[in-house]
Structure 1
């Protein structure tokens, strides 16, 4: 009896693929809970050579910069103002847009994330808050996020992925300007500027 041809093997149900992903693997990706998918990716990347993580982030950058990427959450309603409460309350919209910024700088697109952070800062320009409220806590988190985005941007520039340096400098200048606008606005009502670490880190970065 003749051996099965390679063509017959390639057409078998177990070897079919969708966009170069095995059909069964694609079924898992499409149906797994987000927590399980994240855990699986972390296990895979931690158990493989560094080149695998590099390929993963390259694919992530390709997706995030494509026209099919998820749209940026609308930055208009990031804080809820209740007339009977002194502190503005961060909304789910703020955390949605922060997640988008983290995805960008985590994939090595820190410069692109600067525009997201600048929009958050400018949205909050008219706000006042107490030192220990929900808004202050959110701003402290954002300050740390911006520091990580700056580090991501430095690596982006150093690796040669930053593109046109004049455009990169314009993105840095816009974030620096947003931070200055925030500092000026907060000083006018006697508050504490919440983005000291990011502003200091950005001020000493020259390229």
Structure 2
């Protein structure tokens, strides 16, 4: 892989992945396509619309036309559209949570999934179920929606968001073999847990995805 195209639904993720690519993919050229209209429409409608799916496919095709050897789409809420778009181009297309789902299935028979948006919780849970079926496993999946946390984050109350997410993570970690963060924006909460951090593995998609690409 000489050139990686990253497609985001939030420009805030650009520096996050830039740092990871610099660390784990030295020598690989990267470029970014950011379109927050995608996630805004998904949140407003509560579902992955045909319009969003079409635009995701257009961005993936544009990345190929820009010379990408590989495409990574960094938003879990549009995962189904990412998978469909892969059939439309001649280069590999990876949804950011695929390596995370595979790792969760490998680790435990009881998997906790935390999210702050239902539009992310459902696709992530579905992906884990399909990964488990492909691996011949049948884990118990416990889903937890931090209802209202995303609104707090968007309104500037990051402290309330982080508190709600932390509570959910600690609760899931107390009963599950592994906890999956359905959104990259939740990862920072783990580093804030300090002495209360559980021994249970808590998985976040960005580093796992870039580490996966580094092995290709």
Both structures adopt the same fold (TM-score exceeding 0.5): no
Comparing both structures, which one devotes a greater share of its residues to strand? 2
Comparing both structures, which one devotes a greater share of its residues to helix? 1
Larger Rg: 1
Q: Which has the higher contact order (CA 8 A, sep 6+)?
A: 2
TM-score normalised by structure 2 residue count: 0.26
